[in-house]
Amino acid sequence: MKFFLDTANVDEIRQAASMGILDGVTTNPTLVSREEGKFKDNLVQICEIVNGPVSAEVVSTEAEGMLSEARDLAGLHSNIYVKIPMIREGLKAVKTLSSEGIRTNVTLCFSASQALMAAKAGATLISPFVGRVDDISGVGMDIIQDIRTIYDNYGFETEILAASLRHPLHVVEAALIGADIATMPYKVFDQLFNHPLTDIGLERFLADWDKVKDRVS
Ligand code: E4P
């Protein structure tokens, strides 16, 4: 499973990248709006930190506008994947971009039927938003499972990027289902390391070692 960070914050990305297990980054207009500086400069900086896909989202709602934004974004750096919203005009743009070799991430996906349409249009990645479905009393993870089954039934190459993950269990469940990628906030990435028994165990090992350290060599 690939791990992406869901943020536009360069410090968080640097911190996660230093662990050596960060595979990519997803941004969206909300995440970008929280950061200082120029959008495109920040994007290029992120691409230089992360050796993998960096998603940047278009804001046009007509296919023509999306295409022109997408070509511009894709030209900024070879790591850029263009995020396109899961609407009819979006899928028209995805089809054209796919024929041009521009990689896409279809975002705001909330159903298996949408994911099926995105795969048929040639999306490189599909982003089903798990947490936002949970927020309205649905079971977001069921959508990931349905998409996995459908994509495997037909051999679609579109990768499933489990998005809107809010806690470590979301990541584990997505991994059990076989989602290709999990994108998560830095807080969730960091929480994945934690277990109180690890901390208690290490403390005990070190204390016991301290008692015998004079006899070690
Ligand atoms: C995915 O690419 C989105 O940026 C993101 O996961 C949305 O998460 P949220 O529902 O926590 O805003």
Mean pLDDT rounded to a whole number for the chain: 97
Q: What is the pLDDT of residue 147?
A: 98
Structure tokens at 13: 């990305």
CA-26 nearest atom, ligand 1? 2
Query: Nearest CA to 107 among 140, 123, 130, 84?
Result: 84
Q: What is the pLDDT of residues 113-132, one digit of tens each?
A: 999 999 999 999 999 999 99
State yes or no: is 120 an active-site residue: no
Q: What is the pLDDT of residue 15?
A: 97
Which protein residue's CA is at the shortest distance from atom 9 of ligand 1?
A: 164
Q: For residue 70, what pLDDT band results from cuts at 50, 70 and 90?
A: very high
Q: What is the pLDDT of residues 17-29, one digit of tens each?
A: 999 999 999 999 9
Q: Using the predicted structure, report yes or no on whether residue 108 has a pLDDT greater than 80.
A: yes
pLDDT over 70 for what percent of the chain?
100
Q: If you average pLDDT over residues 34-62, what whole number do you get?
A: 97
> What pTM, to 2 d.p., does this model score?
0.96
Q: What is the pLDDT of residues 138-158, one digit of tens each?
A: 999 999 999 999 999 999 999
Task: Give 106 Cα–ligand 1 centroid separation in angstroms.
Answer: 12
CA distance 178 to 2: 11
Q: What is the pLDDT of residue 22?
A: 98
Query: Nearest CA to 85 among 39, 142, 28?
Result: 28
Task: Give 203 Cα–ligand 1 centroid separation in angstroms.
Answer: 37
Q: What is the pLDDT of residue 184?
A: 98
- Residues whose beta carbon lies within 6 Å of some atom of ligand 1: 6, 26, 28, 107, 127, 129, 131-132, 163-164, 183
Q: Using the predicted structure, report yes or no on whether residue 217 has a pLDDT greater than 90.
A: no
Residue 145 phi, psi (nearest 5): -60, -45
Query: Nearest CA to 125 among 84, 164, 96, 155?
Result: 84
